[in-house]
Structure 1
Amino acid sequence: MRLNKILALALSAVMAASLAACGGSSSAVSSTASTASSAAGASAGAPDGDGDPTTLTVAMECAYAPYNWTQPTDANGAVQIRGASDYAYGYDVMMAKKIAEALGQDIQIVKLDWDSLIPAVMTGDVDCVIAGQSITSERAKQVDFSDPYYYASIVTLVKKDSLYASAASVADLAGATCTSQLGTIWYDICLPQIQDANILPAQETAPAMLVALDSGACDIVVTDRPTGQAALEAYPDFVMLEFGGGENDFQVSEEEINIGISMKQGNTALKDAINEVLATMTTDDYNAMMDEAISVQPLSQQ
């Protein structure tokens, strides 16, 4: 990010605070930022829970390969998880590191369960969430989103010996016993489109969803393509079905399959800074990073 834009954003935040009658703002606003690096940190948005504007604090599940996972070492550039001896890595960590480097900040990874991610942003415990979240209008009522940092199509996973292994459309999945991850469009939007489906309770995590399929508890699971690709590495007897995105496929809006970075509402400095970093990347860059994440994921994460 260009230094003059960083300084301009920081100065704008200071001026806005001085004009507000009851200016409740981050500690970065009240900082006297004597160096360019501290100005960069202040402009990046609300500091983490410790009030350190030099650190970008990022929340994720650390259990959602290939987007993010937990591992015991710092292999491949993994980042230590806050308050733990384990490390986090995956596509989301790779993206978080790229953004933090561009902003001149250190990075801190916070491991949270899926339902705690948005509340953590809203309370200011973390600066942002990079966790494979779809940019839905419902979530946008609570948080702001960056531009997409990945575009994920919908796929269906079945076992090779399943009656549904040759399905060529959503209609061919009729009557299937199915599940997916809690709080996702796969569960809330896609599964109800299957005629006469036996929809089981949602699974807490993506790995739990895949275990349900592997154990025979369900016939199919619906997920996104990166998760499906990663699952094939861990479960060789799985088959991934893709229905082409047309009328034979699950009907989802573009907002539901675009994956974004969420942050506290009104944090335009951080949003603009992240979007500037994303603007330097292409879809091919995203796909190359995802392929790399899939290639190094630990199979135990599935």
Structure 2
Amino acid sequence: MKKHFKITALLMVILLMATVLFGCAQKETSQNNQSQQQTNQQNNNSNQPVDTVEAIKKAGKLVVGTSADYPPFEFHDISSGKDVIAGFDIDLAEAIAKELGVELEIKDMSFDTIISAVLTKKVDMGIAGFTITEERKKSVNFSIPYIQGGQQIITYKGSGITGKDDLKGKTVGVQLGTTGEEIAKKIEGAKLKQFDKVDTAVLDLLNKKVDAVIVDFAVAKAYASQNSDKLELVGNLLDDAAKAVVLRKEDEKLLEVVNKVITDLKNSGELDKMVQKWFVEFKPKQ
């Protein structure tokens, strides 16, 4: 009888231990599953695209990268006694900031660093007379065009240059990282002199240290108008280039906002007024 009792007690102890162990195992499994679910949720959240529009509104400002050496697109205006960055692109940036309901912050930098600044999120977008090219489209998105343009040769009067074919053996000034630089590289026999800033290139042209400069038509026209006794535009446009805003590929909502602003400016006639203001009436100071 005692033996039977001992066996029964032993079985009950074993059963109790098994129940406890099973319960612990279930709890550990549940905890592991919960932890894995949290990890998966965190990973899913990290993979979600950031809503840049909301981030900009939360920050209260739109940060735009530009290169303020390219009148009339963007330049340093000191006419009021203060150094203010102004121009066609700045007016466009102001319109985008207004649509978002935020302040505008302009970051002035070298042209050839703007796309990198956009991609590394140092700025929200780049507005600096960017020409839409297939090469650039590999890394960034472009808005719809806000203005048509093209590269133009500007030279000093009496240079003997009448078009692209006359640039063989000549020294041609270009700005680093621009479409004008890429076009100049393809002109047989042309000697390139590269500049960080366009105004420095034009100054060299006025001093006849370069024979010609290749820049956007609007910029060339502005400088030629200001120096009509010394400079002139020659030849046809070297390309047919549309200008657009540069954005990161993932910022699709922000792209929609920019495209809406450009479309509204066109439909309202405000874009035509901006063109008149900056490309007809404006004269850059040299």
Task: Find the partner of 2:60 among 46, 54, 59.
Answer: 54
Structure 1 unaligned runs (5+)? 1-16, 30-41, 76-84
Between the aligned partners of 2:133 and 2:43, the Cα distance in structure 1 is 34
Give RMSD over aligned pairs: 2.7
Query: 1:111-170 CA deviation, whole Å, 9 max, x = no partner?
Result: 111122112111212111111111112222222211111111221111112111xx1x42
Q: Which amino acid aligns with 2:181?
A: Y
Judging by fraction of residues, say which structure has more helix.
2
Q: Does 1:163 align with 2:160?
A: yes
Give unmatched runs, 5+ long, in structure 2: 1-40
Residue 46 of structure 1: how far off its partner (Å): 4.6
In structure 2, do the counterparts of structure 1 residues 274 and 18 end up closer, same or farther at CA, with 3 Å as the change threshold? farther
Equivalent position of 1:38 in the other structure: none
Q: Which amino acid aligns with 2:203?
A: V
User: Is contact 1:226–1:290 with CA below 8 Å preserved after alignment?
Assistant: no
Aligned length: 243
Equivalent residue for 1:64?
70
Tell whether 2:248 aligns with 1:299: no
Q: What secondary structure sits across from 2:98 in the alignment?
A: helix
What residue number does 2:108 align with? Answer: 111
Q: Cα distance 1:18–1:92, how it changes in 2: closer, same or farther (>3 A)?
A: farther
Correspondence 1:137-216 to 2 at 5 A: 137-164=134-161, 167=162, 169-188=163-182, 190-197=183-190, 199-216=191-208
TM-score of the pair, normalised by structure 1: 0.72
Is the Cα–Cα contact under 8 Å of residues 66 and 290 in structure 1 kept in the other structure? no
- 8 Å CA contact 1:57–1:128 kept in 2: the answer is yes
SS of 1:187's partner is helix
Does residue 20 of the first structure (1) align with residue 17 of the second (2)? no
Equivalent in the alignment of 1:39: none
| 1:22–1:52 distance in 2 versus 1, CA, 3 Å | closer
* CA displacement, residues 225-262 of structure 1 (integer Å, 9 cap, x when unaligned): 1111111133231001242x5xxxx3x4x5xx111111
Match status 1:135 vs 2:132: yes
For the residues of structure 2 that align with 1:145 and 1:87, how far apart are their CA atoms? 27
SS in 2 for 1:157: strand
- Tell me if the contact between 1:154 and 1:242 (Cα under 8 Å) persists in the aligned partners: no
